Structure 1
Amino acid sequence: MIGTWRWNVGFGAVGGMMSLLFSMSGNTFAVSCVRGIYAFAVFFLLAFLFRAILRIVAMPQPSVPALHLDEQDGGYEAGSKFEAVIPDESDQLHEMLKSSPDGRPAAPNAEAAQTNQFQPLKPPQLVSTQNKDPEELAKAVRHLTGG
């Protein structure tokens, strides 16, 4: 624990005295003293909690132990080293990049290349107000607005 119990008593005394002085103006002396004692207990416990948290935060972190060298495992303790070898797949990657997105080989001529270009989607118009009866449109608007 950081510090001593005297810090708790000092913090509790300051809190109790402040509570006593502030409550004197609106209460009797006995009620103010009881509230001062309660405040002393609460501030005493808060100081204890604060010191405990401060100790946890200020505690030095344990150092990481050094690896034990072992001749059997190439100089490292078992499970302390991970080796991964990734096979060379650059040829397959180049072939995939040369092919079109749908998996077919890339088109050798310009005509076939133009067919693979982006074309925006043209959805059909779902609702049209052309050739509608004005009374029917007004009825629909009244229904939607709740009027």
Structure 2
Amino acid sequence: MKKILTVLAISFSALMASSVSLAGPHEKNNNYRGWDQSDQPKFSRGRDFREDDDDMQDKRRMREERGFKRLQQHKWQPGYVMPQHYRGDGYKVDYKNHDLPKPSRNQQWYKINNDYILVDTDSNNILRIQGF
């Protein structure tokens, strides 16, 4: 068994040594015909995204502000479905702290744009709107 492992180790080493000696050059050489980035045309080199980073951030900020303004202008009415954006814990309020009527089972108060909105948590339908 020991002889077989020795023979395998030696043949594997010889195989690795021969493959390394057959590898092409790694330095830039005029005779070497491999891919060279400097030979590539300028238009196909890829895009440098760092140049447009400020423009992209400005566009993203403007798009978020438009979306926020649109959500602020949303008209709430009983019977409408509460948008998913507002269903998070950040909008939930405790009725005791805000002098609101106690909600029934499966109901929750939310504060959105200075309005308190009572929502059915099963169907997400707006049940009542109370403005202050």
TM above 0.5, yes or no, is: no
Question: Rg bigger for which structure?
Answer: 1
Q: Which has the higher helix share?
A: 1
Q: Which has the higher strand share?
A: 2
